[in-house]
Structure 1
Amino acid sequence: MADVLVVADDLTGANAAAAGFARAGFRAVTASAGERAEVVAEMVSRFDVVVATTDSRHLEPARARERVGRVVRAGWPARLVCNRIDTTLRGNVGATTREVLDRVAELTGSRVVALCAPAHPGANRQTIGGMQLLDGRRLEDTEVARDARTPIHTSDVVALLREQADLEVVAVPLDAVTGDLDALAETIRQHLDAGAEVIVADATTVEHLDRLAAAAVAATAGTETVWTTTDPGPASVALAAALGLAESDRGAPLLALSGSATELTQLQLRQLVAERGARPLRTAGRHAVPDVDATVRMLDDALAEADPGDIVVLATVLDDSDLWSPSSEEAARIPVALARAARRALESRPVDGVFTTGGDVTAALLAELGSHGLEISDEVVPLAVAGSLVGGPWDGLQIVTKGGLVGDARTTIECLDHLRGQVEAHRRQVTAAESRERT
């Protein structure tokens, strides 16, 4: 389950929304889902926030709704569903709001309401008196009124929503937003009791959006009401924080793959278990080429049970009792089987980064993941490098790799510690993902 599913009507807006969530500490991804909504289903288990682009801004309302509905169903379940709209209200704002409300209601069986706060303070977009302003001017007085494809004829957010869809819309003025927080929550509660489906709120600052989100959550506390958003992104980030999503554990486990049988590697893995609490797994099929199917099942279970930041180790040799004398043909198949098991597990279980020891294993893993190579960012210790995968469905995955005879007893610990720091730095970036399914 993703924390947040964002449905965006164009790529630029999707990227901006994802960047806002990334700045707030979420792992965010953008996915092109205009014609392939099913790609979203692959992303929700691997990222905190999935921002799906439907390319529906200039479509007929019925087609836009169809695409939005497919994305919501494909990305379900999610803790918060957001309808990312243009800051100047171009496109099918009302139609997509209606669709998100209907689909989330269908999937939850609960009452669903939308917080519509179209202000984007950082981009100098404000909402005052229910009017959307661009650099302090009403939209109909700016160049968006002459947009070739979707000209804007009104800045009145409530009127625009009602014009485009059958929606019960009410407005919350700026004096309520900036006043007593309990009174603001009570105002929202009264509107909801009167049957409101969409709360349009004034805002000119990020603090206003934070207050709105906190009041919205307080207004529905103890009820089964489900909130969604219709906004350019900042209000969605604020509501995610108010719902406590930003406080949940972030990230996924780290995966260490070892195909080395050296005494040094065994010592390093024992030290990793002792000092960092890593969970060691021996590949299935002892004294033989690993059984890929059985290894996948074992690794899948371990990754599912692991907490963010935990280390899961999959190794062909953990101690001397695992040593055997494979033929040259078997020796060539071992790293391929290890890498294939890892790839199949990664298709359904997220990891934040991968550590590999053994050159053959590293090469086999790159081939299995469809990578063209590594973008090297650092040398952790001599002959152990850090970087990320280049190309393929796992493009950008953080990795540290070393040879089986490199370093001392604590070198693998140093490599995993470096990988953890590398992942935290990378978390602030937004990924653009593609399907990872392979035959």
Structure 2
Amino acid sequence: MTDAGPVLVVADDLTGANATAAALARAGMRAVTVADGERPAIVAEFVSRFDAVVISTNARHVPGADAAELVRRAVRSGWPTPLAANRIDSTLRGNVGPTTAALVAEVSAQSGRRAVALCVPAHPEAGRHTVGGVQLLGGRRLEETELAGDPRSPITHSEVATLFEGLRTTTIPLEIVTGPDDRLVAAFAAAVDGGTDVVVADALTTDNIARVARAATTVNDVTWVTVDPGPATVAMAAALGLHRTPDGAPLLAVSGSATSLTRDQLVRLRGEREVVVVRPALPADARVPDVDTTADRLATALESARPDQVVLLASVLDESDVTDVDHATAAAIPRALARAVRRALETHQVDAIFATGGDITASLFAELAAHGLDVEGEIEPLAVAGELVGGPWSGLPIATKGGLVGDTGTTVACIDHLRQAAETRRRRVHPAQSRQTAW
């Protein structure tokens, strides 16, 4: 994932969202679709976990002003992003013009830069092509197909530029798209210099689309957004060099246990694996960690840690950390640690979590809004591995054990198991369900 956040795609229906997410996944990204378009603020809960977030607004057949507002809200929820896209129907049905205008305006407002839309409606693998600014389905104009009789969105014409009423539009014809690179680059530069809002590009092949995307990125001082059924967004992401980090993210280990066995396990972990230690922030004369400061420390460590490292948040590392506390304080410490973990995870990605200590494990499940554990099995007796079920971190690998479980090598074994589980997970595209229920 890039430091600027994930690719953000706003689609007007769920099947289109799924298709675009699948295309981004094939390109090597970890992609997720968000089906609840009535609450696009949930996008914010996924931006730290995925390389591409595709939200369906289900707005193809709603009034244009309503569809535009849903796009603006989705962009605000997912910002910042290195690439925003308006996923449109390949047969041009729906609110293409209003949603494109909204995307251009919102990205410009959020970035503080001029935004220009690149519209490449061709989807060659699906038999959709654009020639002379006209969209073709199986070689026929759209209005010459059964789409003319669509009961909800009848198509009466195929000229792409006419969709963008109120926006300045430039069309780059196929002879330029397939011609010398310098002519294609010059065409984009001229369009941008001329004040265009939307560049519509012809395309017959996926190679045509890739050439168009590469040429667009040579133009400086603008932020490009894409308007297409998927292929151009994938091509633009490639042209911009956007891809997931192949080695993933660091692992997070959280220890709330004060047992001597746990301390010995953490000593061995630090001796045998690359570990970044984070200590809870304790206010003067207090034993309960300050959540805000601890979360900041943890977030800083996660941001700077390498993917092959373990970030360890531990309340007790050696005997000098062991103190007598009353019942209320003992209960408050794991809750504070778990709350700090949640806040850090809202902005930083981890590949898996290891938790040692029964109270900290329960507090983590509560703070991460997990409904339960999809149990894979035992790594060692009483050391259990699985994935979180429910909540915004659903599917995240986790291993848990009590403070008196195992021998000195058990924590290392759990970490090594989680690394393998995380690598397997990176190959999958996960559905996700947010715990957020309102704007």
Fold in common (TM above 0.5): yes
Task: Note the C-alpha offset of 1:278.
Answer: 1.2
CA contact (8 A) 1:369 1:394 kept: yes
The range that moved more, 239-248 or 429-438, is 429-438
In the alignment, what sits opposite 1:276? 273
- Structure 1 residues 248 and 393: alpha-carbon distance in aligned structure 2, compared to 1, 3 A threshold: closer
Amino acid of the structure 2 residue aligned with 1:240:
A
Would the alpha carbon gap of residues 302 and 64 (structure 1) be closer, same or farther in structure 2, given more than 3 Å must change?
A: same
State the partner residue of 1:198.
Answer: 198
Q: Tell me the distance in 2 between the aligned counterparts of 1:291 and 1:109.
A: 39
What is the Cα deviation at residue 327 of structure 1? 5.2
Counterpart contact for 2:51–2:244, Cα < 8 Å: no
Find 2:258's aligned residue among 257, 261, 274.
261
Partner of 1:2, secondary structure, is coil
What pairs up with 1:221-236 in 2 under 5 angstroms?
Answer: 223-236=220-233
1:180-214 per-residue CA deviation (whole Å, 9 max, x = no partner) reads: 33332223223333443322222233322222211
Task: Indicate the residue corresponding to 2:167 in structure 1.
Answer: 167
The farther-off stretch of 315-324 and 229-238 is 315-324
Match of 2:176 in 1: 176
Q: Distance in 1 between matches of 2:272 and 2:210?
A: 41
How many residue pairs match? The answer is 432
Q: 1:415 to 1:122 in 2, by over 3 A?
A: farther
CA–CA separation in structure 1 for the residues paired with 2:381 and 2:143: 62
1:137-164 CA-partner distances (Å, limit 9, x unpaired)? 43223333222211112222223x24xx
Cα distance in 2 for partners of 1:387, 1:204 equals 46
- Name the CA distance, whole Å, in 2 between partners of 1:352 and 1:142: 48
Give TM-score scaled by structure 2 length: 0.86
Corresponding letter in the other structure for 1:144: L
Whether the 8 Å CA contact 1:22–1:430 is kept in 2: the answer is: no
Correspondence for 2:425: 426
CA separation in 1, counterparts of 2:281 and 2:194?
61
Which digits, 9 at most, give the CA deviation of each residue in 1:73-121, with x for residues without a partner? 3333322111111121110111211222222233334332211111223
Which residue is 1:123 aligned to?
A: 126
Once residues 368 and 423 of structure 1 are traced to their aligned partners in structure 2, the CA distance between those partners, rounded to angstroms, is: 21
Task: Extract unaligned runs of 5+ from structure 2.
Answer: none
Question: Could you give the per-residue CA deviations for residues 383-424 of structure 1, whole angstroms, max 9, x where no partner exists?
Answer: 433321112333222212234344444432332233233223
Q: Which stretch of the first structure deviates more once superposed, 234-243 or 281-290?
A: 281-290
| 1:207 paired residue number | 207
CA change 1:263–1:207 in 2 (3 A) is: farther
User: In 2 relative to 1, CA 153–420 (structure 1 residues): closer, same or farther, beyond 3 Å?
Assistant: farther
Q: Which amino acid aligns with 1:319?
A: D
Is 2:63 the partner of 1:65?
no
Name the CA shift for 1:242/1:257 in 2 (closer, same or farther; >3 Å).
same
- Alpha carbons of 1:146 and 1:271: their partners in 2 closer, same or farther (altered >3 Å)? farther
Alignment of 1:22-421 (within 5 A): 22-32=25-35, 34-159=37-162, 161-162=163-164, 165-218=165-218, 220=219, 223-246=220-243, 251-285=248-282, 290-293=288-291, 294-308=293-307, 310-326=309-325, 331-421=330-420
Q: C-alpha distance in 1, partners of 2:228/2:211?
A: 15
Cα deviation per residue 1:343-374 (whole Å; 9 max; x = unaligned)?
A: 34334444332111233432332233232211
Q: Deviations over 1:32-67 (max 9, x none)?
A: 564434333444344332323322211222222222
Q: Is the 8 A contact 1:88 1:134 kept in 2?
A: yes
- Tell me the distance in 2 between the aligned counterparts of 1:106 and 1:6: 17
Q: Could you tell which deviates more after superposition, 289-298 or 417-426?
A: 289-298
1:425 counterpart SS class: helix
Q: Deviations over 1:317-353 (max 9, x none)?
A: 2112222344566555544443333234334444332
Residues 258 and 102 of structure 1: CA distance in aligned 2, closer, same or farther (over 3 Å) = same
Q: TM-score, normalised by structure 1?
A: 0.86
CA distance in 2, matches of 1:371, 1:131: 49
The 8 Å contact of residues 288 and 329 in structure 2, kept in 1 or not, is answered as no
Please give the secondary structure, in 2, of the residue aligned with 1:237.
Answer: helix
Structure 2 distance, partners of 1:32, 1:254, is: 29
129 and 367 in structure 1: CA distance in 2 versus 1, 3 angstrom threshold: same
Q: CA RMSD in A?
A: 3.0
3-state secondary structure, aligned to 2:270: helix
Structure 1 residue 308 displacement after superposition: 4.5
Offset at residue 375 of structure 1 (A): 1.0
Change beyond 3 A, Cα 1:25–1:141: same
Contact kept in structure 2, 1:302 and 1:312, CA below 8 Å: yes
93-102 vs 107-116, greater mean Cα deviation:
107-116
Secondary structure of the residue that 1:152 maps to in structure 2?
coil
Separation in structure 1 between the aligned mates of residue 184 and residue 23 of structure 2, nearest angstrom: 25
1:290 alignment partner AA? V
Helix, strand or coil: the match of 2:243?
Answer: helix
Residues 244-294 of structure 1 show CA distances to partners (whole Å, capped at 9, x for unaligned) of 222767754321111233333223322332333211223344997532525
Q: Give the Cα–Cα distance (whole angstroms) in 1 for the partners of residues 245 and 344 of structure 2.
A: 24
CA contact (8 A) 1:300 1:349 kept: yes
Question: Does the aligned pair in 1 maintain the 2:120–2:232 contact within 8 Å?
Answer: yes
Distance 1:331 1:230 in 2: 54
The 1:360/1:176 distance shift into structure 2, 3 A limit, reads same
Contact 1:48 1:250 in 2 (8 A): no
